[in-house]
Amino acid sequence: MLDSSVTAIAAKVRAGEVSAESVTAAAIAQIAAIDGRLNAFLHVPEQSALAQARAVDAKRARGEAMGPLAGVPVAIKDAICVRGVVTTAASKILAGYEPAYDATVIERLRAADAVILGKTNMDEFAMGSSSENSAFGPTRNPWDVTRTPGGSSSGSAAAVAARMAPCSLGSDTGGSIRQPACLTGTVGLKPTYGRVSRYGLIAFASSLDQIGPFAGDVRGAARVLSVLSGHDPRDATSLDVPPEDFEVACGRSVRGLRIGVPGEYFAEGLDPEVAESVRAAIRELEAEGCVVKPVTMPHTLFAVATYYVLATAEASSNLARFDGVRFGLRTTDPAAARDLRVMYGKTRDAGFGAEVKRRILLGTFVLSAGYYDAYYIKAQKVRSLIRRDFDRAFESVDVICSPASPTAAFRLGEKIDDPLAMYLNDIYTLPASLAGVPAMSVPCAPTRAGLPVGLHIAARAMDEATMLAVAAAWEARSPARSLVPPLAAAAGKA
Amino acid sequence: MPAPKLDRALVLHVAKLSSLSLSDAEADRFADELARIVRYVEQLDGVDTTDVAATAHVLLDRMPLREDALRPCLSHEAALSQAPQVEADGFAVPTFVE
CA A314 to chain B, closest CA, distance in angstroms equals 10
Name the domain count of chain A. Answer: 1
For testing contact with chain A, the best of B29, B51, B58 (most A CBs within 10 A) = B58
What number of other Cβ atoms are within 10 A of residue B30's Cβ? Answer: 23
CA B34 to chain A, closest CA, distance in angstroms equals 7
The predicted model gives A358-373 an average pLDDT of 96
What number of other Cβ atoms are within 10 A of residue A439's Cβ? Answer: 30
- CB pairs < 8 Å spanning A and B: 174
Q: Under 8 Å CB-to-CB from A260, ≥6 apart: which residues?
A: A293, A294, A295, A393, A394, A396, A397, A399, A400, A401
- Nearest in space to B58 (alpha carbons), one of A271, A130, A194: A194
Give yes or no for a contact between B76 and A308, defined as CB atoms under 8 angstroms apart: no
The predicted model gives A467-485 an average pLDDT of 95
In this model, does residue A418 exceed pLDDT 70? yes
Q: How far is residue A322's CA from residue A347's CA, in Å, rounded to a whole number?
A: 9
Q: How far is residue A281's CA from residue A292's CA, in Å, rounded to a whole number?
A: 12
CA of A435: how far to CAs of A1, A191, A231, B8, in Å? 39, 12, 20, 35
pLDDT of amino acid B98: 65
Give yes or no for a contact between A71 and A53, defined as CB atoms under 8 angstroms apart: yes
Q: Write out pLDDT tens, residues A268-279.
A: 889 999 999 999
Fold category of B1-48 in CATH: Histone, subunit A (1.10.20)
In this model, does residue A468 exceed pLDDT 60? yes
pLDDT of amino acid B4: 73
Fill in the DSSP letter of residue A195: S
Handedness of CA A393, A399, A405, A407 (dihedral sign): negative
Q: What residues in A contact B87, CB-CB < 8 Å? A: none
Q: Write out pLDDT tens, residues A26-43.
A: 999 999 999 999 999 999
**A368 classed as catalytic:** no
CA of A387: how far to CAs of A207, A436, B52, in Å? 14, 8, 12
Q: How far is residue A38's CA from residue A448's CA, in Å, rounded to a whole number?
A: 23
Q: How far is residue B82's CA from residue B98's CA, in Å, rounded to a whole number?
A: 28
* DSSP reduced 3-state for A43: strand
Q: Where are the domains of chain B?
A: 1-48
In this model, does residue A492 exceed pLDDT 90? no
Q: How far is residue A278's CA from residue A444's CA, in Å, rounded to a whole number?
A: 7
Does the residue A363 lie in any domain? no
Kindly give the confidence (pLDDT) of every residue in chain B, 98 residues in length, as a single tens digit, with 9 standing for 90 and above: 556 788 999 999 999 999 999 999 999 999 999 999 999 999 999 999 999 999 988 876 667 777 888 988 889 999 999 999 999 999 999 977 76
Query: Out of A134, A152, A197, A433, which one is annotated catalytic?
Result: A152
Start-to-end CA span in chain B (Å): 42
pLDDT of amino acid A1: 67
Does the residue A330 lie in any domain? no
Q: Write out pLDDT tens, residues A119-129.
A: 999 999 999 99
**A77 classed as catalytic:** yes
Q: How far is residue A143's CA from residue A442's CA, in Å, rounded to a whole number?
A: 16
Q: What residues in B contact A375, CB-CB < 8 Å? A: 1, 41, 44
Does the residue A179 lie in any domain? yes
Q: How far is residue A430's CA from residue A263's CA, in Å, rounded to a whole number?
A: 16
- Nearest in space to A278 (alpha carbons), one of A174, A190, A400: A400
Strands A453-459 and A399-403: antiparallel
Q: Write out pLDDT tens, residues A231-241.
A: 998 998 999 88
Q: Write out pLDDT tens, residues A42-55.
A: 999 999 999 999 99
CATH number at residue A54: 3.90.1300.10
Query: Out of A5, A12, A19, A77, which one is annotated catalytic?
Result: A77
Q: What residues in B contact A309, CB-CB < 8 Å? A: 41, 44
The values of phi and psi at residue B94, to 5°, are -65, 165
Give the distance between the most distant pair of CA atoms in chain B: 57
Q: Write out pLDDT tens, residues A259-303.
A: 999 999 998 889 999 999 999 999 999 999 999 999 999 999 999
Model confidence at A494, in pLDDT bands (50, 70, 90)?
very low
The whole domain housing A67 covers 6-254+439-493
In the stretch 235-274 of chain A, residues with CB closer than 8 A to chain B read 236-240
* DSSP reduced 3-state for A361: helix
Strands A73-77 and A167-172: parallel
